[in-house]
């Protein structure tokens, strides 16, 4: 299938170059050649993608038990200005890594030189390193720590990445072979990304990075081209020292480090298991800052260490790394593809010259084959149109970044740390791209208006108009969704909730209720208590199966059920000790996850379904900016509202009566049970 599609791509490009260029004037010629170049670049990347994804993959896990001895391990958590609660979660998780304690050292590398981070490290028994200068950003921070430590293996974790206890058990075993330089685990995120969150598609669409982090990395291992992605990685110190440590001089030290290690003949391994989870960017502007850094950094790597000429790389490795560099011109490509039909419809500039039937005969089979091949190779991780949406949303910013870096006019290299732990109580607009996409949408719509005008005046419409209108429609849907993505939906929660259904018991000195947890977070828990009183208030204790040997103190803060489900309550943790917080983090994050089935597109992931769902999202009418306390007070006050109490009382009596009825065989549930409990008693 991949070979057949590649042949169709080549045939189409040959036909385009020989028969469809419009050279009638300078403007037509320029646009026509530009469009063909963009298509050729896309074709090259597609064929490399097909070759990578079609390669056979052999998974050979190497467990820790296969080693003759346990090598010493240093864990590096680099930080600069991340919120303390984000860093605390990661550092706490590192304290329960399952590895001999005399062989394990955890270091927090604080480039912010913050006293509170030093204090936190001391509380957790973690080593603290702060360097006197900050040159070379994250890579410089890691290199300074290398010079101060002696571990045989180095683990790099981002400040928000929470490792699982078996992280080292699943990775260290690979270093039985001396030529293994690093082992990379996928970067998986526990919060919805910007596309999932702003398009209200958390359960329908996978995280935008999952496809590369899982499928592409797994496929690249077949060609010894696994990319170091900056976190969730275990390095051999000996291998790192052969290239002088983590590479500096670019904004993406990770790509350069892995490429030079592989050029030296070392191997990079990929572990498909989920071994750590972190926070994806929580605002669209932060996402664009991150991608701007990745874009410019990859182009800087190509300038400094050109994959096509770097000694030591095999041919396929050169193609793969060069394809990774060329990928970051997708912003330029998308702008060209969006502009081409608009230029024809609005201004009469011809990007190509071909009759409708020959164009359909050459392009349609190629397009359908591409979609089918992508679906076969990518499975349920991604489809071709979602890739188009992701790239269209970022195109205006990254087109500028790529061109500026290529022409050498980019702003000064400044490593922008992606902000984590962002909350907001109202809708915001990421103006950096919102208005740009609005302008693009205006041009797209003007193309439809121009076609209608042509139809009204000539009473006929040519084949060129039909082709460009369909092309314009394809782009318009992506632009509309990009506008929705740039409208930031509120993020009220300081921490993410995780579904956990386990038995629990809520009690105080006078009452005790049994039930089940619904979800849990670092700040609280939501439970279902079918036998509870109508209103729970004040401080309680909760015993949760599998969490702690001692009950945890909680405070009731809200009734969170609905009319149909009135027995759910929210509690927040109070007076958590360090040990209790440690157990809580382990309970939430330290479980096995099935990467094969969990991180895939769900039913209802179609673009039209997403567009319909997003269009009908209603913005919550909550108090403006930061009035979280007021919102919680409103929830608590609603308990004393007469209507709410009446609903609760009715539902409570109903359920309680049914329970009493079931204890008496002579009693039959009916209206009398609801109206008079004593009848059943």
Domain end residue (candidates: 309, 327, 345): 327
SS3 278: strand
End-to-end CA separation in angstroms for the chain = 71
Same domain, 227 and 250: yes
Burial environment of residue 545 by CB neighbours within 10 A (0 to 12, 13 to 18, 19 or more): exposed
Same domain, 271 and 301: yes
Q: Reply yes or no on whether the pLDDT at 625 is more than 50.
A: no
Q: Reply yes or no on whether the pLDDT at 669 is more than 70.
A: no
Bridge partners for 504 per DSSP: 515, 544
Question: Is residue 273 assigned to a domain?
Answer: yes
- What is the pTM (predicted TM-score) of this model? 0.84
Residue-range definition of the domain harbouring residue 666: 641-680
Tokens of 441: 């949408």
Return phi, psi of residue 21, to 5°.
Answer: -65, 135
Question: Is residue 627 assigned to a domain?
Answer: no
3-state secondary structure 116-179: HHHHHHHHHCCEEECCCCCCCHHHHHHHHHHHHCCCCEEEEEECCCEECCCHHHHHHHHHHCCC
Q: How far is CA 450 from CA 294, 329, 342, 457, 471, in A?
A: 39, 30, 10, 11, 15
Helix axes 284-304, 253-263, angle to 10 degrees: 30
Query: CA 563, CA 645: separation in Å to the nearest integer?
Result: 11
Burial environment of residue 565 by CB neighbours within 10 A (0 to 12, 13 to 18, 19 or more): exposed
Return phi, psi of residue 194, to 5°.
Answer: -65, -35
Query: CA 543, CA 551: separation in Å to the nearest integer?
Result: 5
Query: CA 164, CA 159: separation in Å to the nearest integer?
Result: 14
Question: Among 114-123, 534-543, 621-630, whose mean pLDDT is lowest?
Answer: 621-630
pLDDT band at 249 (very low <50, low <70, confident <90, very high): confident
SS3 493: coil
Domain of residue 310, CATH code: 3.90.550.10
Same domain, 341 and 321: no
Beta carbons of 387 and 216 less than 8 angstroms apart: no
pLDDT at 52: 92
Q: Reply yes or no on whether the pLDDT at 622 is more than 70.
A: no
Same domain, 514 and 569: yes
The number of residues making up the chain comes to 681
pLDDT at 467: 87
pLDDT band at 565 (very low <50, low <70, confident <90, very high): low
The percentage of residues in the chain with a pLDDT greater than 70, rounded to a whole number, is 83
Same domain, 444 and 528: no
Same domain, 223 and 93: yes
Q: Reply yes or no on whether the pLDDT at 311 is more than 80.
A: yes
* Phi-psi label, residue 298: left if phi above 0, alpha if psi -120 to 50, beta otherwise: alpha
Q: How far is CA 57 from CA 223, 224, 308, in A?
A: 10, 12, 25
Question: Is residue 635 assigned to a domain?
Answer: no
pLDDT band at 641 (very low <50, low <70, confident <90, very high): very low
pLDDT at 653: 42
The pLDDT tens digits of the residues spanning 372-424 come to 888 888 877 777 888 899 999 999 999 999 999 999 887 766 666 666 656 66
Question: Is residue 619 assigned to a domain?
Answer: no
- CA angle at residue 239 from 236 to 241, to 5 degrees? 110
pLDDT band at 560 (very low <50, low <70, confident <90, very high): low
Closest by CA position to 487, among listed 192, 193, 199? 199
Bridge partners for 565 per DSSP: 562
* Phi-psi label, residue 58: left if phi above 0, alpha if psi -120 to 50, beta otherwise: beta
Closest by CA position to 560, among listed 522, 586, 526? 526
The percentage of residues in the chain with a pLDDT greater than 90, rounded to a whole number, is 49
The helix or strand, by DSSP H or E, that contains position 620, with its residue range, turns out to be: none
The residue with tokens 């849907």 is 477
pLDDT at 676: 31
Total number of domains constituting the chain: 4
What value does the mean pLDDT of the chain take? Answer: 83
The pLDDT tens digits of the residues spanning 26-73 come to 999 999 999 999 999 999 999 999 999 888 877 777 878 788 889 999
Contacts of 274 (CB under 8 A, 6+ apart): 164, 185, 186, 188, 593, 595
Beta carbons of 123 and 94 less than 8 angstroms apart: no
Question: Is residue 607 assigned to a domain?
Answer: no
Same domain, 347 and 464: yes
The pLDDT tens digits of the residues spanning 456-497 come to 776 556 677 888 899 999 999 999 999 998 988 877 677 888
Question: Is residue 610 assigned to a domain?
Answer: no
Question: Among 229-243, 523-537, 562-576, 625-639, whose mean pLDDT is lowest?
Answer: 625-639
Contacts of 671 (CB under 8 A, 6+ apart): none
Same domain, 390 and 250: no
pLDDT at 419: 64
Beta carbons of 644 and 638 less than 8 angstroms apart: yes
Same domain, 38 and 155: no
> Can you list the positions of beta strands (E) in 365-435?
428-429
Same domain, 451 and 519: no
pLDDT at 30: 94
Question: Is residue 601 assigned to a domain?
Answer: no
Domain end residue (candidates: 433, 457, 488): 488
Same domain, 479 and 431: yes
Domain end residue (candidates: 281, 300, 327): 327
Same domain, 319 and 337: no
Mean local confidence (pLDDT), 344-349:
89
């Amino acid at each position: 299938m991949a070979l057949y599609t590649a042949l169709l791509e080549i045939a189409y490009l040959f036909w385009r170059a020989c028969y469809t260029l419009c050279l009638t004037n300078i403007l037509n010629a320029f646009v026509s050649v530009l469009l063909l170049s963009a298509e050729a670049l896309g074709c090259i990347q597609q064929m490399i993608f097909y070759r990578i994804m079609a390669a056979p993959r052999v998974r050979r896990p190497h467990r820790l038990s296969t080693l003759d001895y346990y090598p010493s391990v240093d864990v590096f958590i680099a930080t600069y200005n991340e919120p303390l609660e984000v860093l605390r979660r990661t550092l706490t998780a590192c304290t329960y890594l399952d590895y001999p304690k005399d062989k394990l050292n955890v270091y927090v590398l604080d480039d912010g030189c913050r006293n509170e981070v030093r204090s936190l490290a001391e509380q957790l028994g973690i080593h603290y390193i702060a360097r006197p200068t900050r040159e070379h950003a994250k890579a410089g921070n890691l290199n300074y720590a290398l010079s101060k430590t002696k571990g045989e293996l180095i683990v790099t974790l981002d400040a928000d990445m929470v490792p699982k206890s078996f992280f080292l058990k699943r990775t260290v075993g690979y270093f039985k072979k001396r030529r293994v330089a690093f082992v990379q685990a996928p970067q998986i995120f526990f919060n919805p990304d910007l596309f999932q969150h702003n398009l209200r598609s958390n359960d329908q669409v996978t995280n935008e990075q999952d496809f590369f982090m899982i499928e592409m990395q797994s496929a690249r291992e077949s060609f010894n081209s696994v990319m170091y992605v900056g976190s969730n990685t275990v390095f051999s110190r000996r291998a790192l020292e052969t290239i002088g440590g983590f590479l500096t001089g670019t904004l993406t030290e990770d790509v350069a480090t892995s490429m030079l290690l592989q050029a030296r003949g070392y191997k990079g391994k990929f572990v498909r298991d989920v071994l750590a989870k972190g926070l994806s960017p929580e605002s669209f502007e932060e996402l664009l800052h991150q991608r701007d850094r990745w874009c410019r950094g990859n182009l800087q790597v190509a300038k400094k260490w050109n994959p096509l000429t770097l000694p030591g790389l095999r041919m396929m490795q050169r193609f793969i790394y060069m394809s990774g560099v060329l990928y970051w011109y997708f912003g330029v490509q998308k702008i060209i593809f969006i502009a081409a039909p608009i230029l024809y419809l609005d201004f009469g500039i011809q990007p190509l010259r071909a009759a409708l039937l020959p164009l359909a005969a050459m392009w349609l089979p190629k397009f359908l084959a591409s979609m089918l091949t992508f679906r076969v190779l990518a499975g349920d991780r991604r489809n071709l149109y979602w890739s188009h949406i992701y790239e269209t949303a970022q195109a205006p910013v990254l087109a500028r970044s790529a061109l500026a870096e290529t022409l050498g006019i980019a702003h000064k290299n400044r490593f922008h740390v992606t902000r984590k732990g962002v909350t907001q109580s109202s809708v915001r607009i990421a103006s950096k791209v919102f208005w740009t996409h609005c302008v693009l949408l205006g041009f797209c719509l003007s193309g439809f208006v121009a076609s209608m005008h042509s139809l009204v005046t000539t009473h006929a419409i040519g084949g060129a108009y039909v082709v460009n209108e369909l092309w314009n429609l394809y782009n318009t849907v992506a632009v509309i969704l990009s506008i929705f993505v740039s409208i930031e939906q509120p993020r009220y929660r300081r921490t993410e909730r995780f579904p956990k259904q386990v038995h629990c018991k809520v009690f105080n000195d006078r009452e005790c209720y049994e039930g089940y947890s619904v979800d849990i977070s670092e700040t609280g828990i939501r439970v279902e208590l079918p036998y509870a009183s109508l209103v729970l208030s004040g401080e309680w204790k909760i015993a949760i199966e599998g969490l702690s040997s001692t009950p945890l103190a909680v405070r009731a803060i809200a009734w969170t059920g609905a009319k149909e489900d009135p027995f759910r309550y929210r509690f927040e943790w109070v007076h958590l000790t360090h040990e209790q917080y440690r157990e809580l983090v382990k309970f939430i994050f330290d479980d096995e996850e099935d990467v094969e089935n969990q991180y895939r597109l769900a039913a209802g992931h179609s673009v039209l379904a997403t567009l319909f769902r997003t269009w009908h999202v209603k913005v919550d009418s909550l108090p403006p900016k930061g009035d979280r306390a007021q919102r919680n007070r409103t929830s608590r006050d609603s308990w004393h509202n007469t209507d709410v109490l009446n609903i609760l009382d009715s539902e409570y009596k109903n359920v309680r009566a049914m329970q009493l009825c079931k204890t008496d065989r002579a009693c039959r549930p009916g209206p009398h049970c609801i109206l008079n409990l004593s009848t059943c008693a």
